[in-house]
Amino acid sequence: MRMRSSLPLILVSTLAAGLGACAGPRAPLTATPNGYTVAIDDDVDELAKATEKAQIHCAQYSRAARLDTIGEIDGKRIASFSCTSN
């Protein structure tokens, strides 16, 4: 009986974790050894998060991320980074 009463709690915890993942960072639009491009909200924190992700991405190729442009495509704000040699 005790196991049945904990089942709903486990289910709710699992669903909450899954929904939390939806609110996480956005997937990049492009991610290559030469660059990283991602859609961001018009927010300083979003740009900081995108910059951190770009740095992590470029570091796997022993390169540094450099912000090239922030623009708009189809109503979405886009941050584009180059992966440059250190």
Quote the pTM value: 0.67
Q: What is the pLDDT of residue 25?
A: 55
pLDDT of 60 above 50? yes
Q: Which of 38, 84, 81, 37 is nearest to 61 (CA)?
A: 84
Sign of CA dihedral 32, 25, 64, 45: positive
Q: Percentage of the chain surpassing pLDDT 70?
A: 70
Residue with tokens 């904990």: 6
pLDDT of 1 above 70? no
| Higher pLDDT pick, 11 / 26 | 26
Task: State mean pLDDT over 56-64.
Answer: 97
For 14-55, write each residue's pLDDT tens digit: 333 333 344 445 788 889 999 999 999 877 899 999 999 999
Residue 86 to residue 84: CA distance in whole angstroms: 6
Residue with tokens 């109503």: 75
Residue with tokens 């709903």: 8
| Higher pLDDT pick, 63 / 27 | 63
